[in-house]
Structure 1
Amino acid sequence: MLNALPRRMKRMVLLTADILLVPIALYAAYVLRYGTAVPFERLSADWPILLTTFAAAPFIIVFCRLPWIKLSTLDFRGALRIAAAAGILAIIASLASVALSIGSPRSIPGIFAVSFFILSFFGRVGAILGLQQLAKSRTATPVAIFGAGAAGIQLSSALRQSPEVVPVCFVDDDPSYRGLNIAGLRVRSRDGLKRMVANGQVSRVLVAIPSMDQAGISRIVEELGDLGVEIQVLPSFVDLISGRSKELKLVAPEALLGREKVNLDLPVVAKSYAGRTVMVTGAGGSIGSELCKQLLECNPERIVLFEQSEYALYEVEAALRAGAAQKNVEVVARLGSVCDRQRVDDVLQNQNVEIVLHAAAYKHVPLIEENEIEGARNNILGTKTLAEAAMAAEVERFILVSTDKAVRPTNIMGATKRLAELVLQDLATRSVKTRFSMVRFGNVLGSSGSVLPLFQKQIRHGGPVTVTHPDVTRFFMTIPEASRLVLLAGAFSKGGDVFVLDMGKPMRIIDIARRMIEMSGATVQSPTNPGGIEIKVTGLRPGEKLYEELLIDNASLTETPHEKILRAEEEKHSEIMTARMLMGFEAAVDAANTEEVRALVAEYASGYHIPDHAEPAKA
């Protein structure tokens, strides 16, 4: 498959194809000019013109850089380059005719130019369509639609526009439909569906009979459950219109922000990553996978997915495959840990990585509070290992994904992230080639472990929705905002800087819970509404703050080209102090000495303190 070839090989294929189109276009010109399919007499008389044009073709095609036109980004500029090549070749043919006194009709070069343009341009268009269809057929999930009525036909039409799924058949209990082709799909029996599932031809069944009552739908779902594939049900039209659907609505993260989304779509982002090789660590995580998705829109040369979890790496690589094929972006999946220097060196050097987006981290506060050794190993020493390897490989830019919990931390997770920032700030003072920068996030709505998926699950089960304290507040941002901020930081980076997003005022978690319950179509429990969903206050967890901050020192703020993105220049440890700190953590981690890890955190993480939590008030 063309997309699997190295970039140099792809260019050779395109160059060869364009060169071969020259004699085809010349032949077409003679056929059209003389009105015969076999103009051999004229071709034999004009062979010097043909030979001259064909000999010049490789040089003109390379000069106009036709092999460098990416199929996935074929646009007006690409068409102009093809037209320019066709025009220059036509001029060469005309000059050859005059210089050699052959007397070939003057219309031949013009017809040749038009023929070459049509063949080259529309040949590329055909290749794009073919590759897209091939990519979809290889990566899309095959689904069967149960119900060949109007709803099923409309659903099949909608699914054909999606790269993620492809409808392969209808299934219907009505024998009059059996064997028919409806909307291009064969109608099969349940036995036929069973065989297709067994053969791997169907991975999901969508039940599209909105007119059937709930009892009938439940019976079908129960009967299809034996197939061992995912079953999804299209809601009843009546339930959708009346609002009686038992499926609670999903709440979009943007609706919970309490502010307008920040527009971070700047041309400088795409320019900074176009044609580059970018490595994303923690690529299978919530932020890492969104980073990869947004990177595709920047048209890099290659995206290197670096991930410790085999399943997470498989998932993100599969999710990116179709989009990467359409945009002709190479995606490389590499298993490994940021703590493994040999593996990191190997990937950075073999893939010629130019930019590193470091999103690999342990981030769950309560878990790291009880697993401080691994938190320090991964978040501090892993960042050091990766950053030093990047500096040795002369990577151009290195951006660390940090957190607001790193500011005056009250927990081990936040402290390890603050110490990781200090490691980078130290390296930035003596790095010649590599620019190190950091991005501090607020809470990312929809990321793994955030309140959004937790509250959605609790609401779906009828409650209670758990909040640790009625007064706890957090800054919030969406996954796309967070990922875009990382990309912008890479574009704005000067070295050693900390970037934060102006997210407005922090929001109370209890208000988020109330809003989610109401936007899901349910109500909040109260003395006058005992049947609503309860909001239960559970008490602050170890290391948890009532409120978070984004900056250690507001006076250090400077502007960036984007009004909502701020840059901070913050205090740094000296090189000697940083080296002593890292030696201490390496020894403590190797010895699995939790007390020493906590002592080092208290010594080196500026502002670190253990909060004195008061008892939470009643909800």
Structure 2
Amino acid sequence: MRLPRNTLVLLVADLALVLVAGWAAFWLRFNFDIPPEFDRLALLASPWSVLAYGVGLSMARVYRQVWSYIGLPELRQLATGIMLGGLLTSALILMQRIPSFPRSVLLLQPLIALVLLGAARAGWRTFVERRTLGHGGRRLLIMGSLQDAADALRALKGSAQWQPVGIVSPIAGEAGRSLQNIRVLGHTSDIAHIAESEEAAAALVASPAGSEERREALMNGAGSRLALLTMPRPDEWLKTESAGPRRIELEDLLGRTPVQLDVAGLGDMLSGQTVLVTGAGGSIGSELCRQAARFGVGRLVCVDVSEYAIYQLEQEMRQTHPQMQGLYYTANVRELDRLRAIAMKHKPAVVLHAAAYKHVPLMEELNEIEALRTNVIGTLHAARVAGECGARRFVMISTDKAVNPTNVMGSSKRLAELMVQGVAAEHAGTQYVSVRFGNVLGSSGSVVPLFTKQIARGGPVTVTHPEIVRYFMTIPEAAQLVLQAGLMGRSGQIFVLDMGEPVKIVELARMLIRLSGKTEQEIPISYSGLRPGEKLYEELLADDETTEPTPHPKLRVAKTSGQLPDIEAVRAWIGDAGAWPSSEELRAWLRTQVPEYSPR
């Protein structure tokens, strides 16, 4: 097999250094004055050592390395190759029984060879790094402890875009120390002053996700007007061509820790199976489609009432998962026959029901009957169709607003949960579960896109009340936990997701203003008052009195009681209510079905 030109050059260079090491070993053995009779022995041993070290280095696959990125793993690999070369050389020389051959040379040569070959690689990497830095890059501060900064600096090696100029540590005792010739310039609270003195253009936050140090660094950095960066999450490495730093996003600021998934169990549930997703074009529905595709579904059946949303999903899936069989339907879950025809054609093993109306103020006035038709009747249709087509699992996406609801949207979702439990009794072969969670960052209709638009317009950012708080979760985290609940759940259970600590909406607004590089003086915050049906606090019922733990740390099962509704009576009432039932009559009926519903 013909060696590539670069590999051949490196092999020749290494073997030349091996020859030098062999002669140096003789010189050291005889105190730099080799007797004439031993010159012949050195010449005799040279070709054998070249052959042996060539074989040893090749066996250790040293020539697959890239010298510009040499590190400890590569040096260990090099040491293995040299050791093999030294052993082969010793074996070849000793087998020839050369008289008076100094055996100490056989020990000295590999040691000297390791120094010379290692130095050559280290020198080349140093040259490449200095040449890269010489071209210049944007001046970058690293925010994190020395341990965190070490990982970040390794990731930045060879980057021509960024030039690290200092470390800003949350540990006061690390000030003045250095790492790879980059000094710790001070504490994270002094980031604004340090950035100005170092003329830094950006700061890379290296503290681990979910840590208090990371949150503190982000808040300090957000007030400094620096561009804040972080390294991509593992799931993002697969989506981007470059694994370099990216801009900080709001979900980084909230510090959600990654979800632990039963990958093997989810693989068994989804891999090679047909999965049907309703509301597939929405924020949660589309992420459920991505996660299902990630687990290797055999066929993904996507249903959404919006033509544009299902078109966008189709384009994305064709690009990211070209081998997957995707089927994209425009259909309304309120139309039973259409939904049944789709399900019967494809016989899904898993049905993920995300189709719903979820905007509280819109559903509270003028559109109450629409909330009932989609959230209650649509859920009933999806659940029954899942049982009729023989699906093994049905998962409904619910909401924290279903707990002690004060609005039509929340009470409609609570009634939908009850309908799912009722249908579960009709179809023993299908496992029916519901999953409750709070607000999802970046989902349609959420406050984050609204605040972002208001900041882009120059403000003000409108918050309904200074004390209003909400639970937040990222879209991928929510979708992953939905799948995990679907895997773990027993029929009729309602799962509650651990949403972490609640966040004040006004603090969320301040975070977004800071991340935009503005101040509250430039982008003011105004208060508009609570909207119809809106609570100051949402409830998840995630305490020990009202929920039971599960093997997964972020999932609990809600303890529910009470009589299930008469499914046919509910269906008949909503069907007979007409296009414009009176608001009072509708709310009075809802209270009979959901006793905990308390309109405001």
**TM-score, normalized by length of structure 1?**
0.56
Q: Contact (CA 8 Å) 2:496, 2:540: kept in 1 or not?
A: yes
Indicate if the aligned counterparts of 1:581 and 1:600 stay in contact, CA closer than 8 A.
no
Q: Are 1:399 and 2:395 matched, yes or no?
A: yes
Going from structure 1 to structure 2, the CA distance change for 1:334 and 1:410 (only over 3 Å counts) comes to same
Partner of 2:324: 329
Matches within 5 A, 1:496-535: 496-525=492-521, 532-535=522-525
1:35 corresponding residue in structure 2: none
Q: Which of 551, 554, 560 is the matching residue for 1:564? A: 554
Residue 331 of structure 1: how far off its partner (Å):
0.3
Does the CA contact (< 8 Å) of 1:300 and 1:329 recur in 2?
yes
Q: 1:609 maps to which residue? A: 598
Structure-2 change in CA distance of 1:390 and 1:565 (3 Å): same
Q: Does 1:470 align with 2:466?
A: yes
Establish whether residue 600 from structure 1 lines up as the match of residue 589 from structure 2. Answer: yes
1:500·1:567 contact (CA, 8 Å) conserved in 2?
yes
Conserved in 2, the CA contact under 8 Å of 1:588 and 1:594?
no
CA distance in 2, matches of 1:433, 1:453: 41
**Residue aligning to 1:287:** 284
Letter of the 1:542 partner, please give it.
P
Corresponding position of 1:21:
none
1:268 alignment partner, one of 265, 269, 275: 265
Give, in angstroms, the shift of residue 565 of structure 1. Answer: 1.1
Q: Which has the larger radius of gyration?
A: 2
Alpha-carbon displacement from aligned partner over 1:316-341 (angstroms, at most 9, x marks no partner) = 0111112221xx32100111000111
Q: Give the one of 363, 368, 380 matched to 2:363.
A: 368
Q: Does 1:359 align with 2:349?
A: no
Q: Using the alignment, how far apart are the partners of 2:452 and 2:255 within structure 1?
A: 18
Deviation at 1:386, TM superposition (A): 1.6
Which residue identity is paired with 2:576? Answer: A
Counterpart pick for 2:421 among 416, 425, 433: 425
Cα distance between partner residues in 2 of 1:430 and 1:489: 21
State the AA in 1 paired with 2:553. E
Deviates more, 1:443-452 or 1:553-562: 553-562
Identity %: 46
1:456 counterpart residue number = 452
The whole-number CA distance in structure 2 between the counterparts of 1:497 and 1:519 is 40
- Deviation of 1:518 after TM superposition, in Å, equals 1.2
Residue type of the alignment partner of 2:532: P
Q: Separation in 2 of the partners of 1:259 and 1:245?
A: 23
Secondary structure of 1:320's partner?
Answer: helix
Picking from 295, 304, 307, the partner of 1:307 is 304
Offset at 1:244? Answer: 8.1
Q: Give the aligned partner of residue 478 of structure 2.
A: 482
CA distance in 1, matches of 2:200, 2:317: 35
Q: How far did 1:240 drift?
A: 5.6
Deviations 1:537-596 (A, max 9, x none): 110000000000112985342232311211224124335x44433322222146644443
Q: How many Å separate the matches in 2 of 1:579 and 1:554?
A: 35
Structure 2 vs 1, CA of residues 450 and 390 (structure 1 numbering), >3 Å: closer, same or farther? same
Partner of 1:528: none
* Residue 547 of structure 1 pairs with residue 537 of structure 2: yes
Residue of structure 2 equivalent to 1:91? none
Rounded Cα–Cα distance in structure 1 between residues aligned with 2:593 and 2:449: 34
Structure 1 unaligned runs (5+)?
A: 1-149, 152-237, 526-531, 612-619
CA deviation digits over 1:332-364, x for unaligned, max 9? 011100011110111001012111100000111
Contact 1:286 1:479 in 2 (8 A): yes
In 2, Cα distance between the equivalents of 1:553 and 1:367? 31
Counterpart-to-counterpart distance in 2, 1:307 and 1:357: 12
Pick the aligned partner of 1:583 from 549, 572, 579. 572
Map 1:70-85 onto structure 2 (within 5 A). none
Question: What code does the residue aligned with 1:307 have?
Answer: D
Q: Please tell me whether the aligned partners of residues 371 and 409 of structure 2 are also in contact (alpha carbons under 8 angstroms).
A: yes
Q: Is the 8 A contact 2:202 2:227 kept in 1?
A: no
Pick closer, same or farther for the CA change 1:258–1:360 going to 2, 3 Å.
Answer: same
C-alpha change, 1:590 and 1:393, in structure 2 (3 Å) is: farther
How far 1:448 moved relative to its partner? 0.6
Output the CA distance in 1 between the equivalents of 2:484 and 2:418.
21
Q: Residues 582 and 505 from structure 1, CA distance in 2 versus in 1: closer, same or farther, beyond 3 angstroms?
A: same
Distance 1:468 1:244 in 2: 27
Give the whole-Å Cα distance in 1 for the aligned partners of 2:596 and 2:291.
35
- How many residues align? The count is 368
Q: For the Cα contact (< 8 Å) 1:306–1:333, is it kept in 2?
A: yes
Counterpart code for 2:371: G
Contact 1:277 1:353 in 2 (8 A): yes
**Matched letter for residue 430 of structure 1:** E
- In the alignment, which residue of structure 1 is the partner of 2:274? 277
Correspondence for 1:318 = 315
Counterpart of 2:348 in structure 1: which amino acid?
V
1:608 alignment partner, SS class: coil
8 Å contact from structure 1 (residues 410, 608) kept in 2: yes
Q: Helix, strand or coil for the counterpart of 1:356? A: strand
Question: What letter is aligned with 1:429?
Answer: A
Measured in 2, the distance between the counterparts of 1:472 and 1:398 equals: 34
For residues 267-286 of structure 1, give each alpha carbon's deviation from its aligned partner in whole angstroms, at most 9, with x where no partner exists.
32222111110001001101
CA contact (8 A) 1:280 1:304 kept: yes
C-alpha deviation, 1:443, in angstroms? 0.5
SS in 1 for 2:511: helix
Q: Is the 8 A contact 1:502 1:564 kept in 2?
A: yes
Code of the residue aligned with 1:418 in structure 2: it is R
Q: Does structure 2 conserve the Cα–Cα contact (< 8 Å) formed by 1:338 and 1:383? A: yes
Measured on the aligned residues, the alpha-carbon RMSD in Å equals: 2.7
Q: Offset at 1:521?
A: 1.2
Alpha-carbon contact 2:369-2:580 (below 8 Å) kept: no
Q: Is the 8 A contact 1:377 1:589 kept in 2?
A: no
Amino acid of the structure 2 residue aligned with 1:548: E
**Letter aligned with residue 561 of structure 1:** P
3-state SS of paired residue (2:574): helix
Contact 1:270/1:297, CA 8 A, preserved across alignment: no
Retained in 1: the 8 A contact 2:591–2:598?
Answer: yes
Contact 1:444 1:482 (8 Å CA) reproduced: yes
Amino acid at match of 1:350: K
